A and B are shown apart, each in its own frame.
Chain A
Amino acid sequence: MLSIAGLSKRHPHAPRPVFSGLGLSVATGEIVALTGESGVGKSTLLNCIAGLEPADAGTIMVGREATDILRLDEAERAALRARSIGFVFQAFHVLPTLSVAQNIAVPLLLSGVAAHDHAARIEALLARVGLAGFGPRWPASLSGGELQRVAIARALVHGPTLILADEPTGNLDPRTADEVLALLLERVREEGASALIVTHSQHVAQCCDRILTLTPDGLE
């Protein structure tokens, strides 16, 4: 679950704040689409939620214990991300020097999941994103769609309570985009996690439980 209240953020040297007094809440198991014009601050909002950028005021409660991520220090924020948040980016951010299985194992290692069931868990998850047998392969040999499936598997593998996705299908052709998105929604629902998905696609938005639009005046 996620609940935001009174969030204000202004970039250094920027003439006006990106948003001020913003409120938002996503219930457990709910999938919310976030749309809005380019440059309105969608990525900034996601970064604030994940604790990658500081905010000027407000609270952002994340995870089962409803921890306010803005009150944590850098190390605690990293630990919270490792435990409770999964991230999918627009670009296929996969570590090029690790194999597919190793990429997916990184969140398990960082969240301290005992090592003995890593392999089985990763293999099962790969099968569920349609990449059975891809574990030992290197990212350079995968297509864009395949890479984004790897990213989805990695975002889900440690059982996070919140998935943040920033235009997860923006770099894919429409057909692959639909496939990958369907897969993402299916897996999120299966895990019972909450999700906030930034998208420009009406089609994607309609597949979600709720659609929010970010404007310079706030959320609608």
Chain B
Amino acid sequence: MSSLTWRLSWWLIRAQFMTRRTATALSMLAIALGVSLGYAIHLINDAALADFSQAMKSVQGEPDAVLAPRDSSGHVPLALVDALARDEAVALAVPVIETRVRLDNTATTVRLIGLDAFSAALLMPNLMPRQGGADGGTTSIFEDGVYASPALLARLNTKVGAPQGLPSVAGITATRGEARWTTPIRGDLPAVRDDELLLVADIAWVQAHFGPREGVGEVRLRLAPGVSPAAWIATWSARLPPGLGLRAADDNLARMSNVSRAYRVNLNVLAMVALLTGAFLVFATQLTAVAQRSTQFALLGVLGLPPRMRLAQVLVEGLAIGIPGAAAGLGLGYGLAVLFTRLLGGDLGGGFFAASSPVVVPELAPAAVFFVAGCGASLMGALYPAWLNRIQPLAPALKAGFAQQAPSTLSASRHAKRIALALVALAAVALTRLPAIDDLPLAGYTAIALVLVLGIAAAPAATRLVFGGLERLRLSAPLRIAVQNILQAPLMAQVAASGLIVSFALTVSMVTMVSSFRTALDQWLDDVLPAPMYMRSKGVPLPADMLAELERPQSPFVRVERMATVMLTLDPRRPPVALLVRELDRADPAARLPFTGAVLAAPPGRITAWISEPLQELHGLVPGQTLHLPLLGREVEVFVGGVWRDYARQFGAVVIAAADYRALGGSVAATDLALWPRPGQEDAAGRWMRAQAKHHGIEGVGSGEIRELSLSIFDKSFAVTYALEAAAMLIGLFGLAVTLAASVWLRARELATLSALGFDRAMLGRAIVFEGALIAVIGLALGLACGVAVGAILTHVVNPQAFHWRMPLQVPWAQVLLGAALTLFAGMGASRFAARQATRLPAAQVLASAQ
């Protein structure tokens, strides 16, 4: 295009924006929202992962490989540590014992890391301590005692190595189960990040007090220069006993990224939906713009505007909406990312990363990608209107204005359309049968998109079906006009309805999914909380003296069930799976676990494990199969006795009976208790529990509270969907109003003729409101049908594949129908508005503008 045609193009864009400010601004806003949402998610996640890997490096150093037990209660034998240190390919082998201990002084639990001072200094310089007292300075010699991170010191309110050099050293008492260590704080850890609560001590002291007796927790390895880590890991892995695993450095990050992946993808899909609504608004705006200006474009064509410019102009106008929209979206996204990381941390409130405040760093390439996505969405919206504008024949357009339908040679026959629709429906059904791709429900999302396409494409047929019969009835004049208009101008009706179809479908599906999930969660909480009271201490065994008190005959409880948790690494690149060791009746596990299907009894002599639904989804297991668990330093075969529902642990859990675990040689260090008070002693039991909880800094709550808390967390985390639903419905209504107003405008001549024939303004207004209502009925009916289908895909395909949990489908009909009625009402309001615009014009003016 030459600079001259650019100038003409710019005049037309400016004129267009000036005459349609609201529609243009809203389209821009929708594009901006889509871009900002996607970009913010990207920035936040990038920042969180960078922050996590930095935190991990600062505590772990940067080993090439880590040798660790696959069972979190296991250890690496000392003989193996020696063998590794003797391997020529190993430059540095650093043994580490890491455990969690409870500090009596603070009623909190912290990480205690035991290090060998000489080797650790090379790999983990950040963990090197500084002596308290006058001489200060970093030392690599550990004294008998612990060194605390700055954050922990602040928490303990202890000053070490004060500037004036006053020795002010306090002691702590660390406990873990029955083990107990009272020791002075010798100094601090100046290089540790200030959000880490941790203690460092010499590995020998940690081992002496908390074990493991015959080994270390893990060995972090730096390989000699020139040794390929992958090859080295492969050779060594073959020689390791089954209870141990070697993982490469990048496995940790991959595992972390995997943790929040499905959640992120879900948010990204929401961002894409926002972008698509942006594309839809651009579509509605540009289609009506093309229709309104068909005479102008025909005139420009007569004056010599090249045909490709008629196409290009509409696309350029789409871009003129997309470019500022996407640019604003980038700015908004950055702002959102900064705001959210400050408020919620790097996991967007998903609870996946520990509390941290990562720094958001914008980079050029991703910003460019999101910018292009925003522009692409608006271009996509402008594509069909541009094509329609291109194919308008000049002479008739000049005489009679916009032709709503493509020339008959171009529009497919009704028969071909039906076949195409049937094929799309079949494809959607087929896609819901496909498994997840790379752990993501991509086929499910595609099926949802197809359902929406199907809904929109079915609008003309549905219109004929519903209103075709109406035409033959005796109707009042306004109603007859409305029906005829819809039947004769299917494209405008389709555009007006499509916004409502998509927005109502999304709303219904969202409400359905949330309601199904909530009902299922409610039921599940009933099943998994049989006891009236629960106590829990995260990561650390419950205090031994407290457990001893429960054993006494005068305890206010009739029944106590203990549970211990061990983390098992089944796949080094996935989050570990929880092994729940529970005191339950092996013959009747269903009394404690909400099974989803049949429960099989194990063949005699075999150990039974009951797996959670997420584990079943992840590993494709069925009851009756054998599962290999890395337990207690060896590979143990267990019989899968059943699958139970679990909404708490997304990455899988296995339950085995405490008796079986003890028989295998394990010891149950309880972290969770279920408590049944003695009848009549409920108050005493409650008092006892609260006192213990306060004293030891652990959780102690009634089942009712857990239930309330869980449901309120659920409601809070889904509250944002209501805002999205409202936004979607507003966009749909806006689309209805815009297209209705535009179609009234297009029919100005016909309306003027009607008023000349004695059809008064009130009747005209009523006809337009009827038309809006009829379109809204079609849109809502199709939207409802699509919404239930999409809701079913979300609950039965997307949720199990992305989050590995299943639930029965439950459509909240009352809520949905009320929503439909409200939308219909609002749709009639929007039509009233369009009608007022149309009937305000005096007939003569209408006639003049129709020329």
Contacts and interface: CB of A to CB of B under 8 A. Distances in A.
Contacts of B3: 115
A4 interface: no
Nearest to B296: A95
Contacts of B7: 109, 115
Contacts of A112: 2, 4
Contact of B303 (A97, A102, A107, A113): A107
Interface in A69-110: 74-75, 78-83, 85, 87, 89, 91-93, 95-98, 102, 106-110
Interface in B299-314: 299-308
Contact of A82 (B295, B303, B398): B303
B15 interface: yes
Contact of A81 (B302, B308, B398): B302
Contacts of A110: 4-5, 8, 303-305
B695 to A, nearest CB: 78
A91 B398 CA distance: 10
A50 B307 contact: no
Nearest to B5: A109
Interface in B9-27: 11-12, 15-16, 18-19
B304 A74 contact: no
B303 A81 contact: yes
Main secondary structure of the interface of A (DSSP, over half): helix
Contacts of A87: 302-303
Contacts, number: 73
B304 A47 contact: no
A78 B16 contact: no
Contacts of A98: 11, 15
Contacts of A80: 304
A53 interface: yes
Nearest to A85: B304
Interface residues of B, number: 28
Nearest to B390: A74
A93 B11 contact: no
A52 B302 contact: yes
B389 to A, nearest CB: 14
A52 B830 CA distance: 40
A89 to B, nearest CB: 8
B19 A106 contact: no
B844 interface: no
Contacts of B299: 93, 95
B851 A91 contact: yes
Contacts of B4: 108-110, 112-113, 115
B15 A106 contact: no
A115 B305 CA distance: 17
B307 A74 contact: yes
Contacts of B307: 74-75, 78
A7 B5 CA distance: 34
B5 A78 contact: no
A88 B296 CA distance: 14
Given A75-B306, A87-B303, A97 B395 contact: no
Given A95-B296, A110-B8, A78 B15 contact: no
Interface in A166-220: none
Contacts of A74: 307
A41 B300 CA distance: 23
A81 B308 CA distance: 15
B394 interface: yes
Given A110-B5, A110-B305, A97 B300 contact: no
Contacts of B395: 47, 52-53
A111 interface: yes
A149 to B, nearest CB: 17
Contact of A79 (B16, B306, B851): B306
Contact of B304 (A82, A96, A102): A82
A81 B394 contact: no
A170 to B, nearest CB: 12
B295 A93 contact: yes
A89 B397 CA distance: 14
A102 to B, nearest CB: 6
Contacts of B851: 91-92
A108 B3 CA distance: 12
Nearest to B295: A93
A93 B399 CA distance: 10
Contacts of B305: 78, 82, 110
A78 B11 contact: no
Contacts of B308: 75
A206 to B, nearest CB: 28
Given A52-B395, A91-B851, A109-B5, A97 B304 contact: no
A44 B2 CA distance: 33
Nearest to A114: B4
A93 B398 contact: yes
Contacts of B304: 78-83, 85, 107, 110-111
Interface string B371-414: 00000000000000000000000110010000000000000000
Contact of A52 (B5, B16, B394): B394
A92 B2 CA distance: 28
A31 B306 CA distance: 28
A47 B298 CA distance: 13
Contacts of A47: 395
A148 to B, nearest CB: 13
Interface string B557-596: 0000000000000000000000000000000000000000
Contacts of A95: 296, 299-300
Interface string B332-366: 00000000000000000000000000000000000
Nearest to A84: B304
B295 A78 contact: no
Given A52-B302, A81-B302, A97 B2 contact: no
A183 B631 CA distance: 102
B305 to A, nearest CB: 6
Contacts of A53: 395
Contacts of A50: 302
Contacts of B2: 112
B18 A78 contact: no
A11 B397 CA distance: 16
Contacts of B16: 97
Nearest to A155: B303
A212 B726 CA distance: 67
Which of B4, B303, B306: most chain A CB closer than 10 A?
B303
Contacts of B296: 95-97
A94 to B, nearest CB: 8
B197 to A, nearest CB: 66
B105 to A, nearest CB: 77
A111 B307 CA distance: 14
Contacts of B19: 97
B394 A97 contact: no
Contacts of A102: 11
Nearest to B399: A43
Interface string B275-306: 00000000000000000000110011111111
Contacts of B15: 97-98
Contacts of B8: 106, 109-110
Interface string B133-149: 00000000000000000
B710 to A, nearest CB: 59
21 contacts: A52-B398, A53-B395, A78-B304, A80-B304, A81-B302, A81-B303, A81-B304, A82-B303, A82-B305, A83-B304, A85-B304, A87-B303, A89-B398, A93-B295, A97-B16, A97-B18, A102-B11, A106-B8, A108-B4, A109-B7, A112-B2
Given A53-B395, A97-B18, 7 more contacts: A50-B302, A52-B302, A82-B305, A97-B15, A107-B304, A110-B5, A110-B8
* The 4 nearest A-B residue pairs measured at CB: A82-B304, A97-B15, A81-B304, A109-B4
Interface of A: 47, 50, 52-53, 74-75, 78-83, 85, 87, 89, 91-93, 95-98, 102, 106-113, 115, 154
Interface of B: 2-5, 7-8, 11-12, 15-16, 18-19, 295-296, 299-308, 394-395, 398, 851
